[in-house]
Amino acid sequence: MARNARVSQLSEAIPVPGKIAITLVVNGVERQLDVAPWTTLLDALRDHLDLTGTKKGCDHGQCGACTVLVDGRRINSCLALAVMKDGTHVTTIEGLEENGVLHPLQQAFIDHDAFQCGYCTSGQICSAVGLIAEGRAKSADEIRELMSGNICRCGAYPNIVAAIQQAMG
């Protein structure tokens, strides 16, 4: 339990909270970083690892722009503390393509013009990867319901649903 050993050292009364060493496997690559306890996973990705594909929209879990996959599950990275995700596998929009070939959902979003400004798109696509892995959505109604945590203020919703349906096959 190396991770607990690191933390328990910190739990000795330290007047100013120090940084904590964590390991994340981000898009298949092991990354070690020192983060303050209040650093969110979103800020760790964007500011510590320069992975700016994941967007900060509302920063309060209301818009879904920050959606990433942690151990395969979609979550709002703005509400997750990086220290609590020590040892996990994180997948961001940068990690979806393989050998220069776009992920089927990325391609489907292009095919269906499923965005306008694009700010919500990486969150939409990561959320849709999670949605497909969950296997709960079959109908368009179910896709809409289970994608409701991703807001698109350009209003590309019909095309987003069509893109997801294409990727679901």
Partner 1 sequence: MINFQYTRASNVADAVRQIAANPTAKFIAGGTNLVDLMKMDVERPSRLIDISQLPLKTVDETADGGLRIGALVPNSDLAYHPLIEQRYPLLASAILAGASAQLRNMASTGGNLLQRTRCAYFYDTATPCNKRQPGSGCSAIEGLNRGHAILGTSEACIATHPSDMCVALAALDAKVHVTGPSGDRAIAMSDFHRLPGTTPQLDTNLNPNEMVTAVELPPRGFATNYTYLKIRDRLSYAFALVSIAAALELEGGTIKEARLALGGVAHKPWRDVAAEAALRGQAANQAAFVHAANLLLRDARGYAHNSFKIELARRGIVRALTQAARGTPQSQSNKKVL
Q: Which residues are near partner 1 by CB under 8 A? A: 4, 7-8, 10-11, 14, 16-17, 20, 36-38, 40, 59-61, 64, 67, 73-76, 79-81, 83-84, 127, 130-131, 134, 136, 139, 141-142, 144-150
Q: How far is the CB of 116 from partner 1 (least distance, A)?
A: 21
Nearer to partner 1, 32 or 139 (CB): 139
Q: How far is the CB of 139 from partner 1 (least distance, A)?
A: 7
The bridge status of strand 89-91 relative to strand 20-26 is parallel
Nearer to partner 1, 74 or 112 (CB): 74
Q: How far is the CB of 99 from partner 1 (least distance, A)?
A: 28
Cα distances (Å, whole numbers) of residue 33 to 36, 48, 75, 146, 158: 10, 8, 21, 33, 40
Burial 64-76 (b: 16+ CB within 10 A, else e): bbbbbbbeeebbb
Nearer to partner 1, 111 or 151 (CB): 151
Q: How far is the CB of 104 from partner 1 (least distance, A)?
A: 20
Instruction: Give the C-alpha separation, 90 to 14, whole Å.
Output: 30
Nearer to partner 1, 117 or 133 (CB): 133
User: 3-state class of 112 per DSSP?
Assistant: coil
Nearer to partner 1, 8 or 113 (CB): 8
CB-based contacts of 139, cutoff 8 Å, min separation 6 = none
Q: How far is the CB of 78 from partner 1 (least distance, A)?
A: 8
> Do you know the residue count of the chain?
169
